[in-house]
Structures are given as structure tokens and as C-alpha cells.
């Protein structure tokens, strides 16, 4: 029997079953692209749709995944898709131990700002997942270093330190991005 051929066949079989990829997923390299991203979660209070303010203390000691987006024509579908994938879909959602936040830049909402706010207020509950934060003037986006008219996902560890930024959120990158986010959050939860 040819040992190299047998070994290769076994590896291909394991790869086909997804057993190797799940092992390698934990070894994913975290990425911090160039930019002025906030390397620590700030202490400035931020409001939710009900008007209540929230601070860093609420996520202290927990892994935080923050989806930064805008309720406009170019980003609305993207932010809704990623919110749903990471919060609701059984195969793609992050652990319930992860704080999942959606930060909406209302300054980019354009003429639909009033309608977007009304819809958000109706759908929002204090236990919504993702938890919704409203950035009325774009200052939160600026403070976190997220470019305008983009949807990006920032991942912070239990100390509030930025560990990863996901910028490739298109259809072609979806599976890899989900795999990366889940592997990174698993790793950070274990730290």
C-alpha cells in the first residue's frame, strides 16, 4: 500500500467533512487594517433608540462585536444581512456570550432618517440582539475610525481592546468572514 497516497486520501476526506477547517479556524489571524480605528472602547455614553444612554461598563469583561453601518440605500441591506447572520441564523450566529452591537450612523440616513428612526424605535427592545446604538451626528463613527458609507465589523476583546476589523462583507467573502468572526470570538472568549 502506498503510504503517501493513503495519507493524502485521508486528509482530503477530512477536509471534505470540514474537520480540518474547523481545527484551523481557531488559528485564524486577526487583522487590523490601516486607518484610525479606536484601539480601545471609549467611555463616552451612547444612546439607544429609546433615548437611554449606555457606557463601556456594560460590556466590560465581555467580547464585543460591533457592526458599524448606516440606514441608507447603499448600506441598509448589508447591515441588515450581517445583523441577521450574526444574531439569528443557527449556523452563522456568534455565541450568546458575545455582546453584539449595531451602531447606526444616522447622519448618513439622508431623506429617510425620520422613517428609519420610526422603524428602529418600533423594533427596538432593551434586550434586542444586536443591541442598537444610534450615532446621531456621525461622531461615534469618527471616534471608532470607521469610514463613512461603509459597513465594517470591529471585534473587541474582554479588556475593550480592538483585536480585529472585518471590511470584506460582500457576497463573495461571506463564508470566510463568518468563519473568521466565529473563530476569533471563540478564541477571545477562551482568553
**Helices (H), strands (E): how many in the chain?**
6, 7
**How many domains does the chain contain in total?**
2
How many other β-carbons are positioned within 10 Å of the β-carbon of residue 5?
Answer: 9
Where in the sequence is the domain holding 12, given as residue range(s)? Answer: 1-29
Please compute the mean of the pLDDT values over residues 20-44 and round it to a whole number: 72
Residues 156 and 144 in one domain: yes
In this structure, are 145 and 180 located in the same domain? yes
Tell me, yes or no, whether 55 and 123 share the same domain: yes
User: Any residues with CB less than 8 A from the CB of 177 and at least 6 apart, and which?
Assistant: 153, 166, 168, 169
The grid coordinates of residue 122 equal 418600533
Q: Are residues 140 and 157 in the same domain?
A: yes
The conformational region for residue 35 under phi > 0 = left, psi -120 to 50 = alpha, else beta, is: left
Within this chain, do residues 16 and 54 fall inside the same structural domain, yes or no?
no
What digits encode the pLDDT tens for the residues 52-73? 888 888 889 999 999 998 876 6
**In which band, very low, low, confident or very high, does the pLDDT at 18 lie, cut at 50, 70 and 90?**
very low
Note the Cα 144 to chain centre separation in Å: 14
Residue 97: pLDDT above 80? yes
Contact present, 76 and 94 (Cβ < 8 Å): no
| Same domain membership, residue 163 and residue 110 | yes
What does the mean pLDDT of the chain come to?
81
Amino acid at each position: 500500500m502506498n503510504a503517501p497516497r493513503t495519507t493524502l486520501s485521508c486528509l482530503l476526506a477530512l477536509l471534505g467533512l470540514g474537520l480540518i477547517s474547523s481545527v484551523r479556524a481557531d488559528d485564524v489571524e486577526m487583522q487590523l487594517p490601516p486607518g484610525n480605528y479606536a484601539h480601545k472602547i471609549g467611555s463616552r455614553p451612547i444612546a439607544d433608540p429609546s433615548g437611554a444612554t449606555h457606557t463601556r461598563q456594560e460590556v466590560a469583561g465581555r467580547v464585543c462585536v460591533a457592526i458599524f453601518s448606516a440606514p441608507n440605500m447603499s448600506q441598509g441591506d448589508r447591515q441588515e444581512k450581517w445583523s441577521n447572520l450574526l444574531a439569528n441564523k443557527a449556523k452563522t450566529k456568534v455565541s450568546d456570550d458575545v455582546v453584539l452591537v449595531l451602531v447606526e450612523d444616522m447622519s448618513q440616513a439622508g431623506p429617510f432618517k425620520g422613517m428609519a428612526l420610526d422603524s428602529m424605535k418600533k423594533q427596538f427592545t432593551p434586550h434586542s440582539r444586536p443591541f442598537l446604538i444610534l450615532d446621531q451626528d456621525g461622531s461615534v463613527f469618527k471616534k471608532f475610525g470607521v469610514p463613512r458609507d461603509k459597513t465594517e465589523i470591529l471585534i473587541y476583546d474582554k479588556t475593550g481592546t480592538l483585536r480585529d476589523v472585518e471590511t470584506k462583507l460582500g457576497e463573495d467573502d461571506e463564508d470566510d468572514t463568518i468563519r473568521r468572526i466565529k473563530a476569533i470570538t471563540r478564541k477571545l472568549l477562551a482568553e
